[in-house]
Amino acid sequence: MMEIAVAEAGKRFNRSWIFRNWSQTFTPESAYVILGGNGSGKSTALKTILGYAPLTEGKLAYHIDKKPLERQAAYKHINFCSPYLELYEELTLGEMVAFHFSLKKLRNDMSNADFMRQIELEKWVDKPVKFFSSGMKQRLRLGLAILSEGDVLLLDEPVSNLDRAGVKWYQNLVESHRKNRICVVASNQQEDEYFFCDQKIEIENFKPQ
């Protein structure tokens, strides 16, 4: 079992603290949402868990079966999705999927064709990703994160650019694949995104007074 812990964590840009004195342990037994408005720092907090945004102070630690895991090795266990995550848009959907899953393994022994059916984009296998709508791109991002093998699932505003049908699709997908994984969502108070989360973290509570 994997665990992630932040202890007395703080992140500062220039002279402004985004958050400070934040301690939290993340385990698969719960699902977590980091809540906050635009510009509150919730996405930055998610990136610190990912290890992408180094902490200004405090500690970030990864463990598997209670044994420390080096940060350089942790990325193999973590899947991340964000609406600003860039895709290889010159590739077709089929090429993009083949490239991604040459680096990461699909869950449940799915094939690439199974994956494209899961994200409901199989009709566009030969279409360059640059011609996809914003909703289609978000389905692809979410599918690559949720359907890849990994012990940790980090989702930043996952229903961005999705229509009502897309939101329902996301909810069904994440509900089917969240068990036995650390799941952390960053959300701008949209309950459709974090309906399955039982632990709420208000990032405003960790702003210095």
> Structural domain boundaries of the chain?
2-206
Measured CA to CA in angstroms, residue 40 lies from 35, 81, 186 at distances of: 9, 19, 11
Give yes or no for a contact between 47 and 91, defined as CB atoms under 8 angstroms apart: no
Question: Residue 76 above 80 pLDDT?
Answer: yes
The predicted pLDDT at position 181 comes to 97
Q: Check pLDDT > 80 for residue 209.
A: no
Contact between residue 136 and residue 62 where contact means Cβ atoms under 8 Å apart: no
Which of 38-47, 113-122, 161-170 has the lowest average pLDDT? 38-47
pLDDT at 170 over 80: yes
Q: Comparing 72 with 29, which gets the higher pLDDT? A: 29
Nearest alpha-carbon partner for 78 in 1, 153, 186: 153
Query: In which band, very low, low, confident or very high, does the pLDDT at 39 lie, cut at 50, 70 and 90?
Result: confident
Task: Identify the pLDDT of residue 120.
Answer: 97
Q: In the numeric block, which tokens belong to residue 18? A: 């985004």
**Pairing mode, strands 31-35 and 57-64:** unpaired
Helices 134-146 and 93-103 meet at what angle, rounded to 10?
Answer: 20
pLDDT category at 17 given cuts 50, 70, 90 is: very high
Query: How does residue 40 score in pLDDT terms, banded at 50, 70 and 90?
Result: confident
Instruction: Share the mean pLDDT of the chain.
Output: 95
pLDDT band (50, 70, 90) for residue 208: confident
Summarised one tens digit per residue, pLDDT across range 81-109 is: 999 999 999 999 999 999 999 999 999 99
pLDDT, average across residues 21-44:
95
**2-206 belongs to CATH 3.20.20.140:** no
Does 199 have pLDDT greater than 90? yes
Q: What is the pLDDT of residue 149?
A: 96
Tell me how far apart the alpha carbons of residues 79 and 50 are, in angstroms, rounded to a whole number.
Answer: 9
Q: Does residue 117 surpass a pLDDT of 80?
A: yes
Burial status of residue 198 (CB atoms within 10 A of its CB: 0-12, 13-18, 19 or more) = exposed
pTM for this predicted structure? 0.94
